[in-house]
Chains A and B, each alone.
Chain A
């Protein structure tokens, strides 16, 4: 079945440094979603990408969907302590379902 792999598992950065997490799928995805989970919290939807090569920005966050629609990335510029949390990518289950299948996430630790 479709699997979504995410790297790295953990990332420590100094406040102000950039951060990138990568998501790779074994199959072509119709779309990819990104979620953020703060420590002790629940996942919160950030964005959905649908088109091949799509790039979307939310303030300091830049999301990309690969040309082949098999990979995606999330880049944070000049991290802040408020960026701390685990970032998950999620692709839909096979069979056209909307149900997101999550990667294991990248935990971002920002050191002040």
Chain B
């Protein structure tokens, strides 16, 4: 069974640009969650999508958005990038309580 796949693995962007990250969950999993991980803040929950609907949302500004497609693949978009958005962005898929994480996308904003 294939795991959670995130693309790209690494990204370098300039302040003010926007970025889109992709996550393909484990086959059969309908829930996809996104987390931001930084050394100072740990794992912070961004949002969760289930069957193409945002079901839960964390405390992040509106610059952070996402969507989910009918095949459960999810994308996360960050607009008007700031230096503080540099982080590891992790996607997790769930078929039950256990979260299966992808390898993450390392975003660096310069």
Contacts and interface: CB of A to CB of B under 8 A. Distances in A.
Interface of A: 31, 33, 35, 41-45, 48, 88, 93, 97-105
B105 to A, nearest CB: 11
Interface of A is mostly: loop
Interface of B is mostly: strand
B22 to A, nearest CB: 16
A102 B42 contact: yes
B98 A93 contact: no
Interface in B75-110: 90, 92, 94, 96-104
Contacts of B90: 42-43
Contacts of B101: 42-44
B100 A45 contact: yes
17 contacts: A33-B97, A41-B103, A42-B90, A42-B103, A45-B98, A45-B99, A97-B56, A98-B94, A98-B96, A99-B33, A99-B45, A100-B99, A101-B45, A102-B45, A103-B42, A104-B42, A105-B42
Contacts of B56: 93, 97, 99
Given A42-B102, A104-B41, 9 more contacts: A31-B97, A42-B101, A43-B43, A43-B99, A88-B42, A88-B43, A97-B55, A99-B33, A103-B42
